[in-house]
């Protein structure tokens, strides 16, 4: 008999059974007994079927009968309307009479089922054809099952349907389904239904497809922009079966990895050094996938670097390169003294070309880089070397008994300056500190030659400036001839000349006054009192001291606080002639006369 056999609940099952005994026994009648769950009669097991008496256990009444002919050594048993309590071990005992009785140790296990058996291959790989079978027992001669597939839409149609005999003599009904699974079929619930015609019996079974497939990255950041110092999270998620090994890499270096459906890469306080391309690799036993994401770290420009010639000779071409690094690229500007010389937008380098440089190009320059995140600048100096140039400020001038000569030279590098006095065959250079004083401001050198006791007859002075690019000479002009004249007259002569000038002015003023009084029709001898001048005004009985104090006060009013004569406008126009002078003008004229008299005395 088969070691195991199964049947759907409510159907029947035929347990095929054959036995044998020695031919020399030749029994007249062969009897047999089927026991349930025990082969030993002394244990009083439930009797399923007994050919001698037809007495059976109540559980099997009306449900069991023998299909085989015991005389032909066929002990096949049929059980009808099986229920779960009938599931168990079934033993057969042959009875040939007398002591010729024997219980066979071989037995059959009956399994009462409610679902079809769906057989799925142990490995289902996406893209590879697979065969899935539905198998149900077909051991009931009274009821034959019919099979159908559930949820197979999009997978395929059943290819084979038939009844198969198993090795131990049992029968199964089989339906095969062939299809090529995809990754979308993973987890798909596939069903099989067994039904029995002319009954209400239906049994369904389901199986979920475990489709293996390589990873596909389904979730990842797009390009990421982050400000320097901020926090960045990069996410990579993959779909695969089994779960993939996820790895974050940059430039071939593994940053993080784990077996998971998604993996997060955390970057704290990102720097420009972390700018670049990050790769996520997902792999399992069936394949791999990878994707990349670009991280752009935004930051202010770095301090610009300047490369190029910083020393040039007048007339040469100078090329200066200013470069920096930032994200986004900056606006680069080179300027000098607030004047823009060159600029570029969204470039990391700026080239400044100065063809035929001149001394005016010498000085400090600035290279400024800026974007929306900040600004940085670098200063650099361009030194233009050129031959000396004598400036127009160079001259000689006399002051009292001293002559000073200024030689103003513009050159680079600093020149040596010498003063030559041809009439005396003498050359004085900067090393003679007693006569020459030099001072440099930027590219301008001022050398001062001082000659004492030379104011009466100043000599010719020639200034010569020299450096490695050439020499320049200039005879220094003598400026301020009127000053020389005053120096010769001296302070006493100046006072005398000034007093004479004041006297002349007073005389002209008196003359005009008398003429106006005489010619004016509005004046008569009897109508107007005599006009008194300040020089004729006296107080009766006043001492002489008062008179001197009055004159001294007039002088002080004219001299002012500094004790110098005031600036006077002594010019007259023709329209002023004939006008009647006012009392104030008389008084002023009189005081001027007194001042002149005092100064002469």
Say yes or no: do domains 216-297 and 305-386 share a fold.
Answer: yes
User: H or E segment at 597?
Assistant: helix 583-600
Q: Is the pLDDT of residue 162 over 70?
A: yes
The per-residue DSSP string of 291-352 comes to EEEEEEEEBPPPPPEEEE-SEEETT--EEEEEE---BS--EEEEEETTEEEEEEES-SEEEE
Q: Is the pLDDT of residue 110 over 80?
A: yes
Q: Is the pLDDT of residue 564 over 80?
A: no
Per the CB < 8 A criterion, the answer to whether 224 and 136 are in contact is: no
Overall average pLDDT of the 378-407 stretch: 91
Architecture of domain 391-481: Sandwich (2.60)
Cα(259)–Cα(246) distance, integer angstroms: 6
Which pairs from 559-568 meet CB under 8 Å and 24+ separation?
565/498, 565/595, 568/505
Overall average pLDDT of the 221-243 stretch: 94
Overall average pLDDT of the 207-222 stretch: 94
Mean pLDDT of the chain: 83
Query: For 267-305, how does the pLDDT look when each residue is reduced to its tens digit (9 = 90+)?
Result: 999 999 999 999 999 999 999 999 999 999 999 999 999
What's the length of the chain? 601
Q: Among candidates 565, 584, 600, which has minimal Cα distance to 509?
A: 584
Cα(20)–Cα(23) distance, integer angstroms: 9
Cα 85–Cα 88–Cα 90 angle in degrees, nearest 5: 120
Query: For 85-99, how does the pLDDT look when each residue is reduced to its tens digit (9 = 90+)?
Result: 999 999 999 999 888
**pLDDT at 346 (0 to 100):** 94
The per-residue DSSP string of 453-467 comes to T-SSSPPP-EEEEEE
Which has more pLDDT, 566 or 414?
414
Cα(407)–Cα(378) distance, integer angstroms: 36
pLDDT confidence of 187, banded at 50, 70, 90?
Answer: very high
Task: Return the CATH class of domain 115-209.
Answer: mainly beta
pLDDT confidence of 516, banded at 50, 70, 90?
Answer: low
**pLDDT at 515 (0 to 100):** 55
Query: For 300-322, how does the pLDDT look when each residue is reduced to its tens digit (9 = 90+)?
Result: 999 999 987 789 999 999 999 99
Q: Is the pLDDT of residue 560 over 80?
A: no
Sketch the domain layout of the chain as residue ranges: 4-112, 115-209, 216-297, 305-386, 391-481
Q: Which residue has the tokens 């049947």?
A: 7
Cα(96)–Cα(366) distance, integer angstroms: 124
**pLDDT at 167 (0 to 100):** 79
Q: Return phi, psi of residue 487, to 5°.
A: -65, -35
Overall average pLDDT of the 525-530 stretch: 36
The per-residue DSSP string of 166-197 comes to -TTS-EEEEEEEEE---GGGTT-EEEEEEE-T
Cα(312)–Cα(361) distance, integer angstroms: 10
Cis peptide before 496 (omega within 30 of 0): no
Cα(393)–Cα(1) distance, integer angstroms: 136
User: H or E segment at 548?
Assistant: helix 544-559
**pLDDT at 483 (0 to 100):** 46
Please tell me the CATH code under which domain 305-386 is placed: 2.60.40.10
**pLDDT at 539 (0 to 100):** 34
Tokens describing residue 182: 């995809």
Cα distances from 407 to residues 73, 414, 429, in angstroms, run 149, 14, 12
pLDDT confidence of 559, banded at 50, 70, 90?
Answer: very low
**pLDDT at 451 (0 to 100):** 86
- Taking domain 216-297, whether its CATH number is 3.40.50.300 is answered by no
Cα 268–Cα 329–Cα 336 angle in degrees, nearest 5: 125
Cα(589)–Cα(509) distance, integer angstroms: 7
**pLDDT at 594 (0 to 100):** 52
Give strand pairing partners of 290: 281
**pLDDT at 298 (0 to 100):** 95
**pLDDT at 457 (0 to 100):** 67
Which has more pLDDT, 577 or 496?
496
Please tell me the CATH code under which domain 4-112 is placed: 2.60.40.10
Q: Among candidates 76, 74, 53, 81, which has minimal Cα distance to 65?
A: 76
**Residue 424: CB atoms within 10 Å:** 9
Give strand pairing partners of 465: 417, 472
Query: For 417-454, how does the pLDDT look when each residue is reduced to its tens digit (9 = 90+)?
Result: 999 999 888 889 888 888 899 999 988 999 999 888 76
**pLDDT at 26 (0 to 100):** 85
**Residue 343: CB atoms within 10 Å:** 14
**pLDDT at 494 (0 to 100):** 52
Three-class SS state of 380: strand
- Percentage with pLDDT > 90 across the chain: 63
**pLDDT at 116 (0 to 100):** 95
- Percentage with pLDDT > 70 across the chain: 81
pLDDT confidence of 364, banded at 50, 70, 90?
Answer: very high
Q: Return phi, psi of residue 272, to 5°.
A: -55, -25
Cα(192)–Cα(96) distance, integer angstroms: 47
**pLDDT at 598 (0 to 100):** 53
pLDDT confidence of 157, banded at 50, 70, 90?
Answer: confident
Cα(280)–Cα(294) distance, integer angstroms: 11
Overall average pLDDT of the 168-176 stretch: 91
Cα(513)–Cα(515) distance, integer angstroms: 5
φ/ψ region of 442 (left if φ > 0, alpha if ψ in -120 to 50, else beta) reads left
CA dihedral 264, 269, 272, 275 (to 10 degrees): 10
């Amino acid at each position: 008999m088969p070691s195991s056999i199964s049947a759907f609940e409510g159907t029947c099952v035929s347990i095929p059974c054959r036995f044998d005994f020695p031919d020399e026994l030749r029994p007249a009648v062969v009897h047999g007994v089927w026991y349930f769950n025990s082969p030993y009669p002394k244990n009083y097991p439930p009797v399923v079927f007994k050919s001698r008496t037809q007495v059976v256990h109540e559980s099997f009444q009306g449900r069991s009968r023998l299909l085989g002919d015991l005389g032909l050594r066929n002990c096949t048993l049929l059980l009808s309307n099986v229920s779960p309590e009938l599931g168990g071990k079934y033993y057969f005992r042959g009875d040939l009479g007398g002591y010729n009785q024997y219980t066979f140790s071989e037995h059959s296990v009956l399994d009462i089922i409610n679902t079809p058996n769906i057989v799925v291959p142990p490995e289902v790989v996406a893209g590879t054809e697979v065969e899935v079978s539905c198998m149900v027992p077909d051991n009931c001669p009274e009821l034959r099952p019919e099979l159908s597939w559930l949820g197979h839409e999009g997978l395929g149609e059943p290819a084979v349907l038939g009844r198969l005999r198993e090795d131990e003599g049992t029968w199964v009904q089989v339906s095969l389904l062939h299809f090529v699974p995809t990754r979308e079929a993973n987890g798909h619930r596939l069903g099989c239904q067994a039904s029995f015609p002319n009954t209400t019996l239906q049994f369904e079974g389901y199986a979920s497809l475990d489709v293996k497939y390589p990873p596909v990255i389904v979730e990842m950041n797009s390009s990421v922009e982050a400000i320097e110092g901020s926090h960045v999270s990069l996410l990579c998620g993959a779909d695969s079966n089994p779960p993939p090994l996820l790895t974050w890499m940059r430039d071939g270096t593994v940053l993080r990895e784990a077996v998971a459906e998604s993996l997060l890469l955390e970057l704290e306080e990102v720097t420009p050094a972390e700018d670049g391309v990050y790769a996520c690799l997902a792999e399992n036993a069936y394949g791999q996938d990878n994707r990349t994401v670009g991280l752009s770290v935004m930051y202010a420009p770095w301090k610009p670097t300047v490369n190029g010639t910083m020393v040039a000779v007048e007339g040469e071409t100078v090329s200066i390169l200013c470069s920096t690094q930032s994200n986004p690229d900056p606006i680069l500007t080179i300027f000098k003294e607030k004047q823009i010389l060159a600029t570029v937008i969204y470039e990391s380098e700026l080239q400044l070309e100065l063809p035929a440089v001149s001394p005016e190009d010498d000085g400090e320059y600035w290279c400024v880089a800026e974007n929306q995140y900040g600004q940085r600048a670098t200063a650099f100096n361009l030194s233009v070397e050129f031959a000396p140039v004598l400036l127009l400020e160079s001259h000689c001038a006399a002051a009292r008994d001293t002559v000073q000569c200024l030689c103003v030279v513009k050159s680079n590098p600093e020149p040596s300056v010498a003063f030559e006095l041809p009439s005396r065959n003498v050359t004085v250079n900067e090393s003679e500190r007693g006569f020459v004083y030099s001072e440099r401001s930027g590219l301008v050198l001022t050398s001062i030659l001082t000659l004492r006791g030379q104011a009466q007859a100043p000599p010719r002075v020639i200034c010569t400036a020299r450096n490695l690019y050439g020499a320049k000479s200039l005879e220094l002009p003598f400026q301020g001839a009127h000053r020389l004249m005053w120096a010769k007259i001296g302070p006493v002569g100046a006072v005398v000349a000034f007093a004479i000038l004041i006297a002349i002015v007073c005389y002209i003023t008196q003359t005009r006054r008398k003429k106006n009084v005489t010619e004016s029709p509005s004046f008569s001898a009897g109508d107007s009192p005599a006009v008194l001048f300040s020089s004729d005004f006296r107080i009766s009985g006043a001492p002489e001291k008062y008179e001197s104090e009055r004159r001294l006060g007039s002088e002080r009013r004219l001299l002012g606080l500094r004790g110098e004569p005031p600036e006077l406008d002594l010019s007259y126009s023709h329209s002023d002639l004939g006008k009647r002078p006012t009392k104030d003008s008389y008084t002023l004229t009189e005081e001027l006369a007194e001042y002149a008299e005092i100064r002469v005395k």
